[in-house]
Amino acid sequence: MTTSFHPEPVAELVDGRPGACRPLPGGLFRQNPVTGEDLDPVRASTDARVESALDAADRLHRSGAWTMRPDAARADALDAAAGAVEARAADITLAESFGSGVPHAQTAVLGVILGGAFRLAAARLRDSVLVSTLTRPDGRLVTVRREALGPALCVVPYNAPAPMAAHKAASALAAGCPVLVKAPELNPYGTQLMVEAAVAGLTAAGAPPALLQLLHGDAATGARLVADDRVRAVSFTGGTPAGREVGAACGRALKPAQLELGGNNALVVMEDADTATAARIAAELLTTLNGQWCRALGRLVVPAARQAELVEAIGEVLASLRTGDPLDRDTGYGPLAHSRHRDSVRTSVAALTRLGAKEHTFTPVPERGNWLAPALLTGAPEEHARGEIFGPVATVHPYDTLDEAVALANSTGYGLEAYVTGQDEEAALAVAARIRAGEVKVNGSSVLSLHMDTPRPAWGLSGLVDEGTDETLLHFTGSRVTGVEGGFALHTAAGPGGGTP
C-alpha cells in the first residue's frame, strides 16, 4: 500500500521563530528520487539568520538558564521532547523515505531512534552520568562533574538524517548545551519535522526557545558554523573529505570534533559459511538504505573456490527484491536520493571497469528516476578498490587463506564496520578479532548496533571519537574536579598556626 507525502516548505527555526530560506545560487534542486523530477531549489539560511542563531545560542549558554538547570529537570524536558517527537514519528519517517529514496519499511525501523534518543539521554541524566565521586586517603570526597562546553553544532547527512540528528541533539541537550542542527541540503524534510516537534516539547516543558535551533544550507553554511568561536563542540556525520575539513577547523580552534565518516566495509565469508545465509547477509548489507550508508557492504571477501557460487546466490536474492515507490511498505529497494549522487556512483563503477572489473547486476530497476541496480564487481584490482563508493556497489575479492582474508578486510584504510559469516561462530569470532574496525558483526546484517550501550567507534579514515549513548553525551562536556585538599606544597614555610593539617 502506497502512502502519499507532500513536503512542507523548507524553513529554519531560530530562537523559536520560523523563517524562510533563500535559494542557493548554482541551480541545484532537490529531487523526487522516484522520478528524478526537480522540486524546490536547494535553500540556505541567510547570513543574518545564521548570526542570529549563533548569538542566541551563545547568550543562552552564558545566562546559565539551561546549563544550570538541575539534571532531573533537564531530563523531564527531554522526556517532553521525546513525547512530541514520537507523536510525529510516522510523518518523520515518511519524510525520510520521500527525500532519500529509502523504503519506508527501513526508515520506520530507524524511527525508534527518534523519540528513543531523547528518552535514553533523559535516563542517563537520572542515572547521574554527569557526576562521579572518589574518596581521598584522608576520607574527603572529590567530585567530578561533567559540564557543558557551550553551544553545540550537529551536522547530519542526507541518508538517514532525522535519527542521527535526534541522537546528537538529545545528547548535547542532556549535556547542558544549546544546540544548532544543520539539516542536509538534499533531504531536509524529516530533520525539519523532528526539530520542530522536539522544540515544541521542550518549550512546553519551560525550556528557552533558543535551546534547539535549525539551520539550512550547504557545505559553506556548515563551514561557517564549524569555524565560529561561539560553537564550542561539533558532532559531524558525513564523508571523509568533508570530515577532514571539519577536523582541521576544530583543531585550529581547539574545540572537540566527533567525526563519523566514510567506510569501505568488508564481509568476510568463511569457508564453512552457509551459502543462503551468506547471500542474504551480503544482499542486505549491499542494499540497506539503498547502499547510501557508511556501514554498507563495500568489499565482499570470499573463498576463491566459492566465488562463482556465492555471486550467483547473492544475485538470486538481489533479483527477488521488490523495487517501487519508497513510501510503499512492500518496497524492498528504492532509488538513490539525487541524480548527482547516482552519477557519482556510476562514475566510480566505470573507473573500475576500465581497470578490468566486470559488473554484475541482477535487480530490474526503472529507467526513469534516480535508480541504480545493485552491483557486484569481480576482477577489480584490489589496490584500486580501496575508496568508498557510497552506493549499492561492492567489489568481490577472493582469498585462499584466512590471513589473506584478514589482509583484504584491513587494507582500505577505513575502519568503521566489518562483518563475518560462518557456521563455526568461534572461528568467525576469531577472524572478527583480527579486523581493524570499530564494530565487527558475526552472522548478521541489522542496521542497528550490536547493543545500544556499546560505543560506536570509528578507526582510521572512518573518523575520530566514539559515538554512543554515553559517548556522544559526554563529548559535549568538560570535566570539573572539586574537593577539599587540606594540604600544602612542601617548599614554602608553614603559615600561622603550625604545619600541614
The residues annotated as belonging to the active site are: 260
Which residues are 297's β-sheet partners?
265
Does an H or E element contain 55, and which?
helix 47-63
| N- to C-terminal Cα separation, the chain | 78
Give Rg (Cα) of the chain: 25
DSSP character string of 171-218: HHHHHT--EEEEPPTT--HHHHHHHHHHHHHHHHTT--GGGEEEE---
CA contacts within 13 A on the Cβ side of 149: 23
Q: Are 215 and 182 in contact (CB under 8 A)?
A: yes
- Containing H/E element for 478? strand 477-483
* Inter-CA distances, 53 with 18, 212, 215, 469, Å: 11, 10, 8, 27
Of 38, 18, 22, 20, residue with least CA distance to 30: 38
- Distance, in Å, from the CA atom of 270 to the CA atom of 420, rounded to the nearest integer, reads 7
Tell me the C-alpha distance between 134 and 84, whole Å: 38
Burial label, 454 (beta-carbon count in 10 A; 0-12, 13-18, 19+):
middle
Q: Which helix (H) or strand (E) holds 265?
A: strand 265-269
Dump strand ranges (E) for 79-189: 131-135, 141-148, 152-155, 179-182
User: Is the CA virtual torsion 336, 337, 341, 342 positive or negative?
Assistant: positive
SS3 83: helix
Q: How far is CA 330 from CA 1, 65, 322, 337, 461, in A?
A: 7, 47, 7, 19, 36
